[in-house]
Amino acid sequence: MTSSIPTNLESENPAIRTSSLAKSFRSNRALAGLDLTVPEGAFYLLVGPNGSGKTTTMRILLDLVRPDSGEVEVFSLPPGSRGALVRAQIGYVPEGSVTGYEWMRVGRLLEHHGSYFPSWDVKYAQSLAEALDIDLARRLKKLSKGETRRIQLVMALAHRPPLLLLDEPMDGLDPLIRDRVIEILVAHLSETPSTVLASTHHIQELEKLADHMGVLFEGRLLSQNSREELHRTLRRYMLEVPREWSGAPELNDAIVHRNGSGPEIAWAVWGEPEQVAHKLKDSGATVRNVTALRLEEAALAILAGKEAE
């Protein structure tokens, strides 16, 4: 069964576009043909299990890693040949902590970092550091993982870049700080129109900010849609089916995830709800309830459906 969830996003002048991007590390195939499209101004949530290629994707966008094949453009610039210019448009929060510069004091690191970006806002950096309880006088190597991640966020936001790449931004942060980070992101988006590509396990927290979602699995996108499209066309159908039910073969390609074996089953199906409900009824099932899915539920259904294959 191949799901027919669309993976093509139409967008003129997207902030990010990749085409058949592939990358392998020794025997590990990190990306196997990625067609990512992030429209300008979007908050795009990249969701997927560990090792699905989220970090590799971001590194390729930054020209930290060269792809084996395929094309990639950030604001119509290829990172491979215009790496420095591409990186000047990006605020990057890497997963893990800062590498290098561990001997520096935080304040000095921010100053050093800021000198690379003409649009660095010193006041903003200070207020962000304050909001995140960062002590500017301490040395980087003395900080916990959570503290260094907060600093990385300040470094990424303070020059108000047009594109934010956030790799697991919530990782290593305690719940109170996570909430504050969301607050900060919202305030930032209010002041600075930005495009955001965020990868995360904490879908729940970031999903209220997202208006696009791509589900990555083993280096390829299983789905890539705007939130609106997902909401409109991916629904969970609670069904009651008769004993010898032969299923709904017409819908086979559109079924994303099946749950249960009867008489009560729940299917996540892609398609216009009225048409799908109609086809289900025609097949002999009783449709008890149709619900839309939250982004997290949608992602889980898509992933679970794939893993069940």
Say whether residue 238 binds another protein (CB under 8 A). yes
Strands (E), 61-210: 69-74, 90-93, 163-167, 195-200
Specify burial of residue 294 (Cβ count, 10 A radius: 0-12, 13-18, 19+).
middle
Q: For the CB of residue 291, give the shortest distance to another protein in the complex, in Å.
A: 6
Tell me which stretch binds another protein (CB under 8 A): 121-129, 175-183, 255-263, 274-282.
175-183
Count helices and strands (H / E) in the chain.
10, 14
CA dihedral in degrees (117, 59, 61, 88; nearest 10)? 10
Say whether residue 210 binds another protein (CB under 8 A). yes
Phi/psi at 215 (5° precision): -105, 120
> Which of 43, 217, 237, 270 touches another protein (CB under 8 A)?
43
Residue with tokens 């196997």: 32
> Which of 29, 33, 62, 258 touches another protein (CB under 8 A)?
62
From 206, 298, 203, select the one nearest 257 (Cα to Cα): 298
Say whether residue 266 binds another protein (CB under 8 A). no
Q: For the CB of residue 190, give the shortest distance to another protein in the complex, in Å.
A: 4
**Do 222 and 4 contact (CB within 8 A), yes or no?**
no
Q: Which of residues 11-30 bind another protein (CB under 8 A)?
A: 13, 25
Q: What H or E segment, with its residue span, contains residue 111? A: helix 106-114
> Which of 119, 144, 252, 275 touches another protein (CB under 8 A)?
119
Is the CB of 69 or the CB of 289 nearer to another protein? 289
Phi/psi at 246 (5° precision): -95, 15
Specify burial of residue 118 (Cβ count, 10 A radius: 0-12, 13-18, 19+).
exposed
Say whether residue 102 binds another protein (CB under 8 A). yes
> Which of 228, 250, 272, 307 touches another protein (CB under 8 A)?
228
Is the CB of 142 or the CB of 252 nearer to another protein? 142
Specify burial of residue 142 (Cβ count, 10 A radius: 0-12, 13-18, 19+).
exposed
From 219, 222, 201, select the one nearest 305 (Cα to Cα): 222
Tell me which stretch binds another protein (CB under 8 A): 104-112, 130-138, 216-224, 266-274.
104-112
Is the CB of 1 or the CB of 116 nearer to another protein? 116
Is the CB of 208 or the CB of 253 nearer to another protein? 208
Q: Which of residues 177-206 bind another protein (CB under 8 A)?
A: 179, 182-183, 186-187, 189-191, 204
Residue ranges in contact with another protein by CB under 8 A: 13, 25, 40-41, 43, 62-66, 75-77, 83-85, 87-89, 92, 94, 98-104, 108, 112, 115-119, 159, 161-162, 179, 182-183, 186-187, 189-191, 204, 208-211, 227-228, 231, 238, 288-289, 291-294, 297
